[in-house]
Structure 1
């Protein structure tokens, strides 16, 4: 497979210095930029999917007329957290 390139990017010297100041041992600025792009792509994909699920849930609630209060949701999430914590403590 052929590789592709990302267009060169002009930035303020301060931004370049800031990026270079956080590089890990053996890490190049190019690999840092590549990883940053990959992370941002994944973040945006997850954000897009989250919004799509939210819109689908809204549409389903409108269709069925079934809505939940914030207290009901918080109580359910608290129960899930309690259960997960209990399972984690048992497996230790």
Structure 2
């Protein structure tokens, strides 16, 4: 496992300086990186779950005949906009 002494070699000096300016009084670089990575992983998992749910929803709508392609929706919206802007 990499020690905290090795971490600065993997981080640009500019970013390392910025991190040093925002670290809490007793917070270590390792703790900061772990928190940042944890948040990044959680966001990516959330995005992946969202996409997975959207695909399931799309497939269910197609199977039930209720799916409308995005291009068709945009065409309908353009018609509505033209009708209301005239």
Query: TM-score interval w.r.t. the shorter chain?
Result: 0.5 to 0.7
Distance 1:45 1:52 in 2: 10
Query: What stretches of structure 1 of length at least 5 have no aligned partner?
Result: 70-92
Distance 1:47 1:55 in 2: 12
Distance 2:2 2:28 in 1: 16
Distance 1:57 1:65 in 2: 12
Structure-1 residue corresponding to 2:63: 63
Other structure's SS at 1:66 match = coil
Largest Rg, 1 or 2: 2
Structure-2 residue corresponding to 1:18: 18
Shift of 1:26: 1.2
- How many residue pairs were aligned? 65
Structure-1 residue corresponding to 2:29: 29
Other structure's SS at 1:61 match = helix
> Please, what is the CA RMSD of the aligned residues?
2.2
Query: What stretches of structure 2 of length at least 5 have no aligned partner?
Result: 74-86
Q: Does 1:52 align with 2:52?
A: yes
CA change 1:6–1:54 in 2 (3 A) is farther
TM-score of the pair, normalised by structure 2? 0.64
Distance 2:41 2:55 in 1: 21
